[in-house]
Structure 1
């Protein structure tokens, strides 16, 4: 049985060789499988591609695709799905935080009939702020989104050929793979492992990128923000009406002590101005996504590869 190991790399010159060596040591123990190693260079600006070429020359199992620029991990995974030839695909990160020793357990679960085998990590060693943000995201996302996500389950997982075909049939430009993996359904299971810390290099996920990714995920799988701003508008109208009613009653009861209209004007401008800006911002996010979808641009452009691919 042929299995594809898919790893997107971005500026991982310090880790790519060690990742490959550690991975192949584990794969060499699994004599019942034939492995294809599919490496994606996501427009790295360091020597990642140079190392990737060298690895491919010395290991015929390695196939690589190099993008013309950085298109993002989502595009890297999609390219891998579209060019993988294995009966199952195992997605991993290139920094060894996804331990290769779990591959055997994943394959055992695949042999049991599971189409998706998710790897769930603990958050040992991560910053408290990171854990807090992650917990908040999953709580909010599961309340708003039409799919359910599990805290600690990353992109490290096995997908059967049937699941891969379902994923590649979804050609939306704004991709949130965690949601897509859940949305397609199929029989799935979870295996747990202790969190592995990065040995070298720097993480590519800053707080800003993580926040943008979280917002993309929520907006891609939910229209609840639109309904929330509609409800917020109704609440603001109710507050404004109550305030006007209170001013009117105060004037009827005691005209001499009625306040001037200055505070009322400022209150109204600030309240409704804030609501309008928030509403326009949320609408703008959805319109922006539509804007990118209708352009129909490719998810990635291939500059170099050692396999036959179509741009």
Structure 2
């Protein structure tokens, strides 16, 4: 019998964890597979861990990893995926916005031969502004990326053991997972759905975490911003040289009548200063990604394992 591992990262999800485990169990018991439900808790400050202990005590399919501290959603999720030992691994969110019932569709696509299946949300009940910003971001990243990325992917999906073996060999300490599975190269099936609003609890994703994930997607999978910086630098240097030459000729031809004003100087200083700061900031993002890579830290440090 084939085995499917369901992986769920959690952080302060005490209001959702019971329903989550119940719905995952109902879905998996309705299919002819052995399964495990691996929950990784990112050092929650509420009762999530104690609730998971009670669930694991009565259900041997539920396994729990408790992190020593909050290592962030990206690292925690990726670590849990690499600990799963099923023939296929399903990643599903804990907030129930990606319904666990989609697992059936993931598995169906897997049985059709796809090694990677990803959930995509062409429509969503979230804030229209946020949804449009996400859509715009995915279009930008897809356009500049070295490999085509799946637009509007939520992160949930199914990944065959062959995909996980490749990801395990990469040893990336801070991966952009949605891009990484596209880099592997296997054909990707998508499961579209309308994403509902979060019913209970508060999302742990804030502006910083969303920005972090956005910049990770750009710096990990595209060199286009670096090339644009280089090309822009040459173009601006050429324009600056032309302007300087123009002012020199004007002064030589109209020595007494032409007065060099302060306005062009101030405009030039502020414009090029702002441009340099923007380029330095973008360059810093790439340097930060390199620094994370060379430190070679573990994805997470585990404090405890339950039901392993």
Normalised to the residue count of structure 2, the TM-score between the two structures is: 0.94
CA distance in 1, matches of 2:44, 2:81: 20
Equivalent residues in 2 for 1:117-128, closer than 5 Å: 117-128=117-128
- Structure 1: how far apart are the matches of 2:262 and 2:79? 60
Cα distance in 2, alignment partners of residues 146 and 270 from structure 1: 34
Match for residue 9 of structure 2? Answer: 8
Q: Aligned partners of 1:207, 1:78: CA distance in 2, in Å?
A: 21
Aligned with 2:231: secondary structure? helix
Give CA-to-partner distance per residue, 1:239-296, whole Å, 9 cap, x none.
2122223222322443333123533442343233223322322222222222222222
- CA positional deviation for 1:307: 4.8
Q: Secondary structure at the match of 2:218?
A: helix
Shift of residue 25, structure 1, vs aligned partner = 1.9
Equivalent residue number for residue 233 of structure 1? 233
- SS of 1:6's equivalent? strand
Aligned to 1:23: 24
| Structure 1 Cα separation of the partners of residues 146 and 9 of structure 2 | 28
CA displacement 1:190-227 (0-9 Å, x = unmatched): 12222122110011222332122111110111122111
Work out the CA distance in 1 between the residues paired with 2:206 and 2:118: 24
Match of 1:169, SS state, is helix
Query: Deviation digits for residues 123-176 of structure 1, max 9, x if unmatched?
Result: 331212112211221121112211222222121111111111111111122310
Q: Is the 8 A contact 2:68 2:301 kept in 1?
A: yes
Which blocks of at least 5 consecutive residues in structure 2 are unaligned?
A: none
Asked if the contact 1:134–1:151 (Cα under 8 Å) also holds between the matched residues in 2, the reply is no
CA distance in 2, matches of 1:197, 1:129: 14
Which residue does the alignment assign to 1:295? 295
Distance 1:122 1:264 in 2: 48
Aligned equivalents of 1:183, 1:59: Cα separation in 2 = 36
Secondary structure of residue in 1 paired with 2:287: helix
Match of 2:109 in 1: 109
Report if aligned partners of 2:91, 2:158 keep a CA contact under 8 Å in 1: yes
Q: 1:1-311 alignment to 2 at 5 Å?
A: 1-30=2-31, 32-260=32-260, 262-307=262-307
